[in-house]
Structure 1
Amino acid sequence: MLTLHRASVLLPDPAAPSITDGAVLVDGAAVLAFGPYASVPAGGARVREWDGLLTPGLLNPHGHWLLECAYHPDPREDLGTEPLMLAADGERRGGSARRGLQRMLGYGTTAVAGPFELPVVRTAVARSGLHALPGDGTAGGLDPLAATGLRGAVHRPLTVGGRADFAVFDAASAAELERAGAGGCLATVLGGRLLYRRR
C-alpha cells in the first residue's frame, strides 16, 4: 500500500538543505520517492499531512541504561512518567522495557543502542521493531537530541529504496527542533508503519 507523507518542511538528511512543502512516498516498508510535494507522484496513495518538520528517525544512544537500569512506571503505579532508579526483574522489567520503548517512539526514536543483556529486554527490543545497535551503555535520557544535536542523532538519512524510518516534529526548522528537543514529536514511522502519533 502506498502512503504519501506530506510535511511543511522535509529534511531527508541533516547535512543537506531542507525542502519546504516536502513529501515522502512510502511503499510497504521502503521509501519510494521524496522531494517537493509537487514533484512526488502520489498515484492513488493514502495521504497523511503533517504540520511540522519531517526528518529521518533518531538513534537513542542510551538504550542499555534506559531499558535495563532505569524503570518506566506503569501509569497505574502512581509513580509519574519519568524513568526512575527502581529495582525490577522478570515480568516487571519486561513491562518497564516495553513502556520505555513506547516512550522512545514518542521522541522520534527508530534505533536504540545496547548492549541488551537481559533476555526480557532483548525480546522487547526485537518485538518493538526498533533497530538494535551496539553501544557503550552510557546513562542518559529519552531525548536523542540532548547530547549530539540532529546531525549526531539521525540513525541514517532517508534514501530511495531505503527503509521508511522517520519522524515528524512540531518545529519549522532543524535549528528550532534542536532548541526545543525531540519531545515535540508528532509522529514516528518505522518500516513504513505509523507506530506513534501524538494525541
Structure 2
Amino acid sequence: MLTIHAAPLVLPVGAAAVVDGAVAVDGDRIAALGPYEAVAAAHPAARIRRWPGLIAPGLRQDGARELLTRCYHPDPREADELGELPLWGEDFERIAVTMDATRRAGSVRRGLQRMLRHGTTHVAGPFGADDPALRTAVARSGLVVQAAPSPAPVREGVPDLDPFAAGGDLARTAGAPLTVGGRADLAVFDVPDEAALYGDGPRPCVATVLAGRLVHRAR
C-alpha cells in the first residue's frame, strides 16, 4: 500500500525545504515529494501518516564500526546492573574478557536496533571479511553500508549513537537526499526547524523509515 508521510516541514537536502510537506512511499521507493495537498490529491487512496516536526533523509552513522565492535549494548534485562547506554573503554574491556559469540551477536543486534532509534539508515563501512559475523548482522539489518567520508572525521570521547554528535550539518550527515524514485529512507524529528537538529538541545527521533518500512516509532 502506498503511504504518505506528512509533516510541517520536509527537508529533502539538495532541494528547497517544503512547508506542510509530504513524502509518498510506494514499496521501498519515493513515489512523490512536495506540498501535502498536492501529494495527497495525486494519491487519494494512500494511507496517511502524520508526524510532528520535520521529515529528513535517513542519517549516516560514521562511528558504526566503533559502536558495534568497541562498545557493549546491554540487554534490557541487564539494565539494573549495566544501565541502558553503550559501555565502552574499561567497562567494555571488563565484559569483553568473558564475552562469547552469542553475547557479542546480541550486543551487535541491539546496537543496530538502537541506531534506528536515532534516525540512522546508513552506516559508514567497510565491514570486511575480517569479521564475517559483523558483516552478516549489518547486512541483515537492512542498513545501507557506505564508504566513510573523506577525510574521515576525528572522533574523540565516548562513541555516540546520535549521528549529529560528531558535528556536521544535515547535508553532510544525511545518507542520501530525498528524491522521487530514490530509496525511501526517512528520519522524523520532533523539532521545529533544521537549526534545532544541531547543538546540545534535544532532537527526539519519532520515526525511522528504512527502505519504506517503519522500523522505529517513538511511543
Partner of residue 67, structure 2:
66
Asked if structure 2 preserves the Cα contact closer than 8 Å seen for 1:22 and 1:35, the reply is yes
Written as runs of structure 1 = structure 2, the 5 A alignment for 1:20-35 is: 20-35=19-34
Partner of residue 126, structure 1:
139
**CA distance in structure 2 between the partners assigned to 1:61 and 1:107 by the alignment:** 13
Say which is worse superposed, 53-62 or 120-129, in terms of deviation: 120-129
What is the CA distance between 1:152 and its match in structure 2? 1.2
Please give the TM-score of this superposition, normalised by the length of structure 1. Answer: 0.93
Sequence identity, in percent?
54
1:101 and 2:112 correspond = yes
Asked if structure 2 preserves the Cα contact closer than 8 Å seen for 1:65 and 1:138, the reply is no
Unpaired runs of 5+ residues, structure 2, are none
* Deviation by residue 1:130-161 (Cα, 9 ceiling, x = unmatched): 01223369753111112222221001101110
Asked if structure 2 preserves the Cα contact closer than 8 Å seen for 1:10 and 1:55, the reply is yes
Partner of residue 84, structure 2:
81
Partner of residue 162, structure 2:
143
**CA distance in structure 2 between the partners assigned to 1:24 and 1:180 by the alignment:** 28
Written as runs of structure 1 = structure 2, the 5 A alignment for 1:20-59 is: 20-40=19-39, 41-59=42-60
**CA distance in structure 1 between the partners assigned to 2:179 and 2:74 by the alignment:** 37
What is the CA distance between 1:195 and its match in structure 2? 0.3
**CA distance in structure 2 between the partners assigned to 1:183 and 1:166 by the alignment:** 15
Q: SS at 1:104's partner residue?
A: helix
Q: SS at 2:177's partner residue?
A: coil
1:115 and 2:126 correspond = yes
What is the CA distance between 1:119 and its match in structure 2? 2.2
Asked if structure 2 preserves the Cα contact closer than 8 Å seen for 1:108 and 1:182, the reply is no
Asked if structure 1 preserves the Cα contact closer than 8 Å seen for 2:191 and 2:203, the reply is no
* Deviation by residue 1:151-195 (Cα, 9 ceiling, x = unmatched): 210011011101000110011110012235675100000110000
Q: In structure 2, what residue type is equivalent to 1:46?
A: R
**CA distance in structure 2 between the partners assigned to 1:137 and 1:92 by the alignment:** 30
Partner of residue 152, structure 1:
172
Report the aligned-residue RMSD: 1.8
Q: 1:127 to 1:137 in 2, by over 3 A?
A: farther
What is the CA distance between 1:94 and its match in structure 2? 0.9
Q: 1:92 to 1:182 in 2, by over 3 A?
A: farther
Asked if structure 2 preserves the Cα contact closer than 8 Å seen for 1:166 and 1:190, the reply is yes
Asked if structure 1 preserves the Cα contact closer than 8 Å seen for 2:57 and 2:174, the reply is yes
Asked if structure 2 preserves the Cα contact closer than 8 Å seen for 1:62 and 1:114, the reply is no
Task: Give 1:174's match in structure 2, choosing from 162, 169, 194.
Answer: 194
Q: SS at 1:179's partner residue?
A: coil
What is the CA distance between 1:61 and its match in structure 2? 0.3
* Deviation by residue 1:76-119 (Cα, 9 ceiling, x = unmatched): 11311111122134111111011001110011000011232422
Report the number of matched residues.
198
Please give the TM-score of this superposition, normalised by the length of structure 2. Answer: 0.85
Partner of residue 186, structure 1:
206
Which structure has the larger Rg?
2
Unpaired runs of 5+ residues, structure 1, are none
